[in-house]
A = this chain, B = another copy of it.
Amino acid sequence: MAAASTPQSFLLQHPLYPSLKTLSYIPSKQHLRPRPRLSTVSCTAVHPAPASVSVTKDQGRIFNFAAGPATLPESVILKAQSELYNYHGSGMSIMEMSHRGKEFDAVIKNAESDLRRLLAVPDDYAVLFLQGGATTQFAAVPLNLCAPDDAADYIVTGSWGDKAFKEAQKFCKPNLIWSGKSDKYTKIPPFEGLEQNPNAKYLHICANETIHGVEFKNYPTPSNKDAIMVADMSSNFCSKPVDVSKFGVIYAGAQKNVGPSGVTIVIVRKDLIGNAQPITPVMLDYKIHADSASLYNTPPCFTIYICGLVFADLLEQGGLVEVEKKNAKKAGILYDAIDGSDGFYVCPVEKSVRSLMNVPFTLEKTDLEKKFIEEAAKEGMIQLKGHRSVGGVRASIYNAMPLAGVEKLVAFMKDFQARHL
């Protein structure tokens, strides 16, 4: 059957990842072959003395400052690659596995368990792995927590909070109790002055505004004792410790700090589950997913698997206390570079609420911004363009951005400034 093709060698070996196998492979007829045959391969690896090597795009990784999907830990990428063909000797890729099989059952349970450890999620909270991004949760939150005539309070500190507020108008009576729009979303209000609605079912915030770089450093208390806090933590999820017990619902798209795009994590207090409006699509009903441990229908298995690898990596780093220290250091040197540039670079965000994750800035000479972004890309630092709605420059420095990436960016900024004074 395979007479027309010549077997070719396929070598995948790594000392840390013994599941990488040596395989032979027949090009173009491969879908006709039931399985690979073994080849014998001998290898000799000669390591150069460790040295600072100038890396080009052809040789290795670049520094990716994208706002999401975003850079992932290199160790996670390598592990995923090593396991992709034959997951733990199962004879299948993780992408091919039944979501009800024992391998994926262990994957999703471990991912949930590690996430619970990372955030010290109390037992009276459900952890759900869903689809549709934070944008789906903009609808799911009011559909699950409100009747159509119920009030809910929204503090809007950026574009994402604004989208959440607008979507809620379809499903409840949301009140915009504070908006930073007139200040171009550079501030967070003092909490004592907020005029909360005493009947609001919840108080909603976006904990970190990805586009504007505004981050809550602490949280307001809903003034009605029955009201609950709801937070979109998409872009600072697992970047620092959070007291989950202060929230009724936390939700986050994974594609910033904890995985590829395609999975949304919802952490919801269990007593809030089970009251969805009759018009709630089944896929937006928290009860459906909580009752079936996120397996009501087929979940995004591979994406959850990668999140699990990231959670394990964060635990190995020492958990979120250590992760926050690293993030604070990275953000610190970047903001210092901006503030120490004598106005060449400007970050418009009020200092006390600057994001550790997304650092937006402009150049005093705005006509240089395009050149700045292009030259940085040539140096292996990409995706530095600000969101299309605000322009300027934005460096997203999530958990997986190495300190060396930020140091390189800061060095480039100083050099660029020196060349354009």
Contacts and interface: CB of A to CB of B under 8 A. Distances in A.
A11 B13 contact: yes
Nearest to A380: B91
A31 B400 contact: yes
Contact of A402 (B31, B60, B71): B31
Interface of A: 2, 7-16, 21, 23-25, 27-28, 30-48, 50-51, 53, 55, 57-64, 66-75, 77-78, 80-81, 84-86, 89-93, 95-99, 101, 131-136, 138-140, 143, 167, 170-171, 253, 255, 260-263, 278-284, 296-303, 306, 313, 316-317, 380, 382-383, 400, 402-405, 408
A334 to B, nearest CB: 16
5 contacts: A33-B402, A34-B408, A35-B59, A66-B96, A167-B282
A68 B84 CA distance: 17
B383 A101 contact: yes
A84 B80 contact: yes
Contacts of A283: 132-133, 135-136, 139
Given A30-B78, A302-B302, 5 more contacts: A8-B14, A40-B48, A41-B46, A167-B282, A170-B279
B2 A9 contact: no
Nearest to A259: B95
Copies of this subunit: 2
A34 B63 contact: yes
A44 B46 contact: no
Given A39-B47, A81-B84, A61 B91 contact: yes
Contacts of A32: 402-404
Contacts of A23: 60
Contact of A62 (B37, B53, B91, B380): B91
A85 B20 CA distance: 14
Contacts of A34: 55, 61, 63, 402, 404-405, 408
Nearest to A299: B261
A302 to B, nearest CB: 5
A298 B69 contact: yes
Contacts of A313: 31
Nearest to A2: B50
Contact of A45 (B36, B39, B297): B39
A240 B254 CA distance: 35
